[in-house]
């Protein structure tokens, strides 16, 4: 009996020929990740247990991105714990403000993650890296602490649900629209403790940025991971980020796909030729509607950024729509490039100039408003449209505020209109 891609990766890392859904395993991880919220807890437990050295200073990654640049004394202390531990352990991959970025955009960009790896992170959106054909999943801080010790972690092997997308979507449809549509169809628990494997002709033609977006939001459907088989688009991307690994393993990576006789828990298949831009309405990522069905939703704030949609292609789309236009009076538009490299590229392409001329505020890389941390907190009664991944009650500030989720194209167009609209309205 064949195996899914996720089962193959897990089996390889626990020394078995095959694993099956429901089986408990201990597996050797290739990379473990923590940020300024979750890693301090792991570091505390690591030290409390009496351990002195991490298992491999090249495989522990620390990124202060959630409350940085530090917004207050407490967040400054959290960041210092990371900095001190990284120095003490001589970690290869620690990223200080000025060279850092939002972790799930930064690690692929730096070539730290690539096909076939088993990656854990004390952050639920660690599932992002599955877009590269690796198995990556979020864990708790205590599991992260244990992995610091011996590079091992326990897993319950999840079943895999395959999603097949066909058709020829219109030009404004991105990975964000596709994943929002999917979550709207199956619900926030539709892939509970499963792997979402994305496939079909539509996915085959998506660029890496859209693939990252789809894998990133797998957790919003309750999934343990999102994953996409390795193809030429994957290989071309890794060639630019980690050429040495690409040269060594490219032929092996081409085999990273599910077997033809693999067993899937479910298979969903949709033709999305007629799909229009999607919007998740308060207060769940599954409360999804086509943009044309929203009516007039007045906005106080628009945020373009996050680990979901802060990459260079996202900024290019936003700039294309905003060029020569002005943000609606009394509306706040906050744009956050996901990494310093993306920020520099946006400056080089004069995207930042377009944003500032339009009336936007551009921030240094940070998770900031996505989790109600800083740089864009909502007060009572305010409504925001964001390219982030969650819109739970109180997610961006007051529990009496409202958050809608959409693609960068919808967000940019809506910032100009002052209400949620399709980008087609401004580009006809």
Q: What is the pLDDT along the chain (428 residues), one digit of tens a residue?
A: 799 999 999 999 999 999 999 999 999 999 999 999 999 999 999 999 999 999 999 999 999 988 988 889 999 999 999 999 999 999 999 998 888 899 999 999 999 999 999 999 999 999 999 999 999 999 999 999 999 999 999 999 999 999 999 999 998 999 999 999 999 999 999 999 999 999 999 999 999 999 999 999 999 999 999 999 999 999 999 999 999 999 999 999 999 999 999 999 999 999 999 999 999 999 999 999 999 999 889 999 999 999 999 999 999 999 999 999 999 999 999 999 999 999 999 999 999 999 999 999 999 999 888 888 888 999 999 999 999 999 999 998 999 999 999 999 999 999 999 999 999 887 76
CATH number for the domain spanning 123: value is 3.30.499.10
CA dist 305 and 278 (Å) reads 17
Same domain, 24 and 150: yes
Give 291's DSSP letter.
G
CA dist 12 and 27 (Å) reads 9
> How many domains in the chain?
2
Q: Please report whether residue 369 resides in a domain.
A: yes
Same domain, 233 and 305: no
CA dist 138 and 224 (Å) reads 7
Single out the residue in 241, 270, 299 at which a domain terminates: 270
Distances (CA, A) of 335 to 106, 216, 231, 310, 378: 17, 19, 32, 8, 16
Residue 336's beta-bridge partner residues?
none
CA dist 296 and 85 (Å) reads 50
Helix, strand, coil percentages in the chain from 3-state DSSP, rounded to 5? 40, 20, 40
CA–chain centroid gap for 201, Å, is 22
Single out the residue in 237, 270, 303 at which a domain terminates: 270
Whose tokens are 């403790």? That residue is 193
Directed axis angle between helix 408-417 and helix 312-322, to 10°? 30
152 three-state secondary structure: strand
Same domain, 241 and 383: no
Single out the residue in 217, 240, 270 at which a domain terminates: 270
pLDDT of 428: 66
pLDDT of 422: 93
Q: Are 304 and 334 in contact (CB under 8 A)?
A: yes
Which among 420, 95, 129 has a CA at the least distance from the CA of 280?
420
Same domain, 204 and 348: no
Same domain, 58 and 162: yes
Residues contacting 175, CB < 8 A, separation 6+: 206, 209, 210, 211, 212, 213, 214
Q: Please report whether residue 275 resides in a domain.
A: no
Rounded to two decimals, the pTM is 0.95
pLDDT of 373: 85
Q: Are 238 and 111 in contact (CB under 8 A)?
A: yes
Q: Please report whether residue 220 resides in a domain.
A: yes
Same domain, 409 and 341: yes
Same domain, 328 and 369: yes
CA dist 208 and 256 (Å) reads 16
Stretch (H or E) spanning 351: helix 351-358
Whose tokens are 């429901």? That residue is 22
Residues contacting 388, CB < 8 A, separation 6+: 303, 305, 306, 308, 309, 369, 370, 396, 403, 405
Same domain, 249 and 284: no
| Pair of tokens at residue 129 | 């890296």
Which among 33, 7, 285 has a CA at the least distance from the CA of 139?
33
pLDDT of 1: 77
Same domain, 360 and 408: yes
* Backbone φ and ψ of 27, nearest 5°: -130, 150
* CB neighbour burial string for 387-397, b if at least 16 within 10 angstroms, e if fewer: bbbbbeeebbb
For residue 222, the enclosing domain spans 5-270
Q: Are 78 and 40 in contact (CB under 8 A)?
A: yes
Burial of 70 (0-12, 13-18, 19+ CB in 10 A): middle
Residue 27's beta-bridge partner residues?
153
């Amino acid at each position: 009996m064949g195996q899914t891609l996720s089962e193959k990766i897990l089996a390889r890392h626990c020394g078995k020929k095959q694993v099956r859904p429901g089986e408990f395993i201990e597996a050797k991880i290739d990379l473990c990740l923590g940020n300024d919220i979750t890693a301090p807890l792991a570091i505390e437990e690591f030290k409390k247990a009496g351990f002195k050295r991490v298992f491999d200073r090249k495989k522990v990654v620390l990124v202060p991105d959630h409350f940085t640049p530090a917004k207050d004394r407490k967040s400054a202390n959290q960041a210092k714990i990371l900095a001190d531990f990284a120095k003490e352990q001589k970690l290869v991959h620690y990223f200080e403000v000025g060279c850092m970025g939002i972790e799930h955009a930064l690690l692929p960009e730096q070539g730290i993650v690539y096909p076939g790896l088993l990656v854990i992170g004390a952050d639920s959106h660690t599932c992002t890296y599955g877009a590269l054909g690796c198995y990556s999943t979020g864990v708790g801080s205590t599991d992260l602490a244990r992995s610091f010790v011996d590079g091992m972690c326990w897993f319950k092997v999840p079943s895999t649900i395959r999603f097949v997308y066909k058709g020829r979507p219109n030009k404004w449809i991105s990975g964000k629209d596709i994943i929002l549509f999917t979550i709207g169809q199956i619900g926030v628990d539709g892939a509970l403790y499963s792997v979402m494997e994305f496939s079909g002709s539509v996915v085959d033609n998506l660029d890496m940025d859209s693939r990252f977006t789809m894998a990133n939001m797998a957790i919003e459907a309750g999934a343990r991971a999102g994953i996409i088989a390795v193809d030429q688009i994957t290989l071309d991307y890794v060639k630019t980020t980690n050429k040495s690994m690409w040269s060594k393993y490219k032929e092996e990576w081409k085999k990273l796909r599910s077997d033809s006789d693999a067993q899937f828990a479910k298979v969903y298949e949709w033709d999305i030729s007629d799909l229009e831009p999607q919007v998740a309405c308060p207060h769940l990522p599954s409360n999804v509607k086509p943009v044309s069905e929203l009516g007039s939703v007045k906005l106080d704030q628009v945020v373009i950024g996050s680990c979901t949609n802060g990459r260079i292609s996202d900024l290019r789309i936003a700039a294309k729509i905003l060029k020569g236009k002005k943000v609606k009076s009394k509306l706040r538009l906050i744009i956050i490039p996901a990494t310093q490299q993306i920020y520099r590229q946006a400056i080089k392409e004069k995207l930042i100039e377009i944003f500032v001329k339009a009336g936007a505020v551009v921030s240094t890389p940070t998770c900031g408003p996505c989790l109600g941390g800083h740089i864009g907190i909502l007060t009572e009664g305010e409504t925001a449209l964001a390219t982030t991944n969650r819109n739970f009650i109180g997610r961006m500030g007051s529990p009496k505020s409202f958050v809608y989720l959409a693609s960068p194209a919808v967000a940019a167009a809506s910032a100009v209109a002052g209400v949620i609209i399709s980008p087609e309205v401004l580009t006809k």
